[in-house]
Structure 1
Amino acid sequence: MARHASDQARGEEAPSMRVSHGAPLGPLTTLGIGGPAATLAELTDPADFPEFVALADGCPGDPVCLGEGSNVLVGDLGCASAVLRMNTRGIRIGSADADGRVRVTVQAGHPLTDLVATTVAEGLSGMEMLAGIPGTTGATPVQNVGAYGQEVADTMVEVTAWDWRRRRTVRLDASACGLGHRTSVFKHSRRWVLLTLVFALRRSGLSTEITYPTVARQLDIPLGGRVPQAEAAEAVLAVRRRRGMVLCGTNTESRSIGSVFLSPEVSPAEADRLRALDAPVNRFPDGSSRVSASWLIREAGFGLGHRLAPGVRISSLHYTLVADDGARAADFSAAVDLVGRRVLDRTGVRLVPEIDFIGEGRRPAVVPG
C-alpha cells in the first residue's frame, strides 16, 4: 500500500523559499532565547533547496539548519551565518519487503509527533515509544533520539543529505551515520543538511515490549508485556506530561530543551560505587553503563524549582533546566556550567551538555574531569 500524507508536489501553489533578514531566532526555539539571524531562509518545498545553497554561499561561516528548535540554544548576539528553517512536510508509506518490513520515507521537516501518530494509526510498530518528543524528523538521527526503550537507530535505514564538503546530495545507510548513544556523525557538525529519512517498520497491532517501569506502571502491566500501539503511545504521553515534557503553549515548565545533559558513561568500578548509593545505573544498547543525569543533579543538592541564574531554574516537575521570561543565553550557559561544576564536586561524575549551541555569544562549558 502506498500513502502520501501532506506531500506537496511542485506546481501546486507551494510557496517559494522565504528569506528574511534580522529575524529573531528565540521564538523559533523551545527555550525562546537568543538573538537574530542575519539571514533566515524558510524552506517548504524540497525542490527549492538549491536556492538555499546559493544563498548560503554568499553568507559568512557555515550554514545552520534549524527544525523546531527543541535542542537549540541561540547565542545572545544571534547568528551571522545563513540559517535554514526546515519546514518540508511529507510521509510516504511503501509496501512490505520480503522480510515483512515496511519502508516509510519522510521529509526532514516533518514533525516527529505527527510521524509517530501516523505510524501508530497505520499499525506500523517501532516508533510508538517516541510519542510526544518535539522536533522535526530530520533532527532525530543527529543525536539518535530515543525514549522508553526505543531509539532512531532501531528503525532508521538510510538518509538523503546535502554534503557541503562534496557539494552534492548523498545517500547514507544507517551504518554510515554512526548512530550511538545520543550521537551520530551529524552531531556538532555543519557538514550535512538532512533532506529525507527512511525507516523500516513492521505491521503489528501491538507495541514492542514495554521495558521501562514508569510506562509499565502507567499501563498496569508487567515489564516485557505488549499492548495495542495506541495505548502504549498514550501511556508514554501521560508519563511525559507529568514531567512537563510535552510542549503546550505558554506553560513555562516546557520552556526547555528536554535533557540538558547526557546520562554519563561510567566505568565498572564507578558503576559499583554509584549503585551502592542507590543510583540508577543502566546498560544501554551500545554496551555502555550510564548513570541518570537527573539523579546526579538531585544528589548534588539541587531541588525542584531551584533558581540557578537570572531567568533560569530547575524545573518544578523534574531535574532539567527551564527558562523564564527575561532569560538570556548567557544566563542559561552559566546555569549549565554551575550544575556541571557542582555535580562533579559532589559526585565525582562529569556531566556533558547535549545542547546544540548556534551563533555568537557565551557557550556552555564542558567541565574538566
Structure 2
Amino acid sequence: MANTLLDPHYEEIFEQAASLSSVTRGLEPFAQLTTLHLGGTPLSSFRCFSQQAAVEVIKLFDAHQIPLLVVGGGSNLVVADGEVPLAAVILDFDGIDIDAPSARLRAEAGAVWDEVVATAVAAGLGGIECLSGIPGSAGATPVQNVGAYGCEIADVLVEVTLYDRQHGRIVKAAASELDLAYRYSNLKFTQRAVVLDITLQLHSDGLSAPLRFGELARTLGAEPEQRLPIADVREAVLGLRRGKGMVYQESDHDTWSAGSFFTNPIVSSAQASEVRSKVAAKLGEEAAEAMPAFEVAGGIKLSAAWLIDKAGFHKGYPGPQAPVRLSTKHTLALSNRGNANTADLVALAREIRGGVAEVFGVTLEPEPVWVGVSI
C-alpha cells in the first residue's frame, strides 16, 4: 500500500533506489522503527544493508530533492502521526571490528549500541561499560554525544566516517572536529552529514573508566575515581538502568520511551540561586539545600528529573489510564502505554515543560529529534 502523499515523480526515483544493490523497499511505519512505538507512515522506507547502499540512496534522493529521514535504532525520534512526507532510509549494516593490539573498536552505524558495549567487554576492552543498556544504534552516539553514569562518547571517540551530503562525498572526521559537548555535536539537528561508522579508543587492562557517578560507585562499593573490572561495572549499570525502566524491553511499556526525554539544564550561577530560592519558597529550606546542582563547563547543571518531580509531576503521572505517562520507575522518561499516538506524547511533554517553567523558571529542552511535530 502506498502513502497517498506520494508524488508520481518520487515513484520513479524510488524504483531506482529499490533497484540498487543491498537495498530493499517497504512501507515500514515509524511506530515499528522507534522505541516509543509512535509515528506515522513515510512515503516509503528503504532498508540499506551496506554503507555504500545507504550513500547511494541518500545521494539519489538529495539529487532529486526528496526529503528523507535517516533511521538507526529509532531511540531518539519523535515522529508526527499520520502520513509523513519523507522517505525513511534505514541503516541496517552492523559490523563490529576490534584491533586488539591498539585496543581500537570500529562499529558501523547500524550496530545496536549495547551489542557494541557487550562486544568490547567480552574482548576485555574498557571505556564504554558505563554506557551499557543505552538503546539505539552506534551511529547515533556521536551525534548527541551519548552519556551516562559519568561517561560520554566524547571520552573515547577517535573519528567518524561520514557521508557529507553537502559535497556528496565520504569523509573521515576526527572527534575534535565535531564540537562535542553535553548531549551535543555539530551534527545534531542538522542534515549536513550521515554517520556511517565510528572508531573508539578503548583500553586493554580490563578495568573500567574511573567511576565518577556517585550512585554507581555506591552500588559497587567503590571510591570515586576507582577503576573496577569492566564486566562488574557493566552489570551494575544494567541493573541501575533496569530499575529505572531505561533498558528497552518490548514486553514492558515503561521502556517504550525515548530514554531521558529532557536534558539536564545548564544555567548560570545566578539562575541556579534563583531556582534554589523558588524551591525554598515552595518546598522549604531543607529541599532547597538538597537540590542537585553541579559545577560544569558553562555553568551549573541541574537535574531535570528532580525538577520535574518537585514541580508535581511524579512517577506514573498522570495516572494508569493515560495513553502516555511518566515511567513508573523514572520521571525523566515519557512512556507509551501501548495505545498512544504522538499527539498524546506531545501534550504531556508540553504540560511537564510548562509546569517546570512556571514553578521554577527553568525551560527544559527535549533531547529527542522531532520530525514533523514540535514541542
Give the TM-score normalised by the residue count of structure 2.
Answer: 0.86
What is the CA distance between 1:153 and its match in structure 2?
0.4
Q: Distance in 2 between matches of 1:83 and 1:256?
A: 20
Q: Distance in 2 between matches of 1:142 and 1:183?
A: 7
Q: Distance in 1 between matches of 2:299 and 2:72?
A: 30
Q: Distance in 2 between matches of 1:90 and 1:154?
A: 22
Q: Distance in 2 between matches of 1:50 and 1:70?
A: 22
Cα deviation code 1:66-106 (max 9, x no counterpart): 11111111110343222111111111222545xxxx22221
Q: Distance in 2 between matches of 1:264 and 1:299?
A: 15
Secondary structure (helix, strand or coil) at the match of 2:266 reads coil
Secondary structure (helix, strand or coil) at the match of 1:326 reads coil
Report the equivalent of 1:65. 70
| 5+ long unaligned stretches in structure 1 | 1-14, 365-369
1:208 aligns with 2:221: no
Equivalent of residue 86 in structure 2, options 81, 85, 109: 81
**Is the helix fraction higher in 1 or 2?**
2
Q: Distance in 1 between matches of 2:94 and 2:117?
A: 14
Report the equivalent of 2:250. 249
CA 1:266–1:57 in structure 2 vs 1: closer, same or farther (change >3 Å)?
closer
Equivalent of residue 356 in structure 2, options 328, 337, 343: 343
What is the CA distance between 1:55 and its match in structure 2?
4.4
Report the equivalent of 1:33. 38
Cα deviation code 1:295-317 (max 9, x no counterpart): 11011111211128951111111
Preserved CA contact (<8 Å) 1:300 1:346: yes
Preserved CA contact (<8 Å) 2:67 2:85: no
Q: Distance in 2 between matches of 1:60 and 1:251?
A: 40
1:279 aligns with 2:284: no
1:317 aligns with 2:317: no
Q: Distance in 2 between matches of 1:202 and 1:210?
A: 15
Q: What is the root-mean-square deviation of aligned Cα atoms in Å?
A: 1.9
Letter in 2 for 1:318: H
Q: Distance in 2 between matches of 1:238 and 1:38?
A: 40
Preserved CA contact (<8 Å) 1:25 1:78: no
Report the equivalent of 1:298. 309
Cα deviation code 1:250-276 (max 9, x no counterpart): 201001101111101111122344456
Q: Distance in 1 between matches of 2:22 and 2:93?
A: 12
CA 1:305–1:19 in structure 2 vs 1: closer, same or farther (change >3 Å)?
same
Preserved CA contact (<8 Å) 1:299 1:347: no
Report the equivalent of 1:52. 57
Cα deviation code 1:120-168 (max 9, x no counterpart): 1112111010011111000001110000111010010111111111111
Q: Distance in 2 between matches of 1:173 and 1:222?
A: 33
Letter in 2 for 1:355: P
Preserved CA contact (<8 Å) 1:266 1:291: yes
Cα deviation code 1:224-243 (max 9, x no counterpart): 32211100000000000100
Secondary structure (helix, strand or coil) at the match of 1:203 reads coil
Preserved CA contact (<8 Å) 1:357 1:363: yes
Preserved CA contact (<8 Å) 2:113 2:135: yes
1:17 aligns with 2:23: yes
Q: Distance in 1 between matches of 2:308 and 2:95?
A: 40
Secondary structure (helix, strand or coil) at the match of 1:350 reads coil
Secondary structure (helix, strand or coil) at the match of 1:195 reads strand
Report the equivalent of 2:8. none
* Greater Cα shift, 137-146 or 211-220: 211-220
CA 1:61–1:281 in structure 2 vs 1: closer, same or farther (change >3 Å)?
farther
Give the TM-score normalised by the residue count of structure 1.
Answer: 0.88
Report the equivalent of 1:367. none
Aligned length, in residue pairs: 342
* Greater Cα shift, 233-242 or 307-316: 307-316
Q: Distance in 1 between matches of 2:36 and 2:64?
A: 26
CA 1:157–1:78 in structure 2 vs 1: closer, same or farther (change >3 Å)?
farther
Preserved CA contact (<8 Å) 2:59 2:165: no
| Percentage of matched positions with identical amino acids | 36
Secondary structure (helix, strand or coil) at the match of 1:231 reads helix
Report the equivalent of 2:15. none
What is the CA distance between 1:60 and its match in structure 2?
5.2
After TM superposition, list the pairs within 5 Å mapping 1:1-369 onto structure 2.
Answer: 16-20=22-26, 22-57=27-62, 61-97=66-102, 102-274=103-275, 277=288, 278-284=290-296, 286-307=297-318, 310-319=322-331, 320-358=333-371, 360=372, 362-364=373-375
Q: Distance in 2 between matches of 1:218 and 1:200?
A: 27
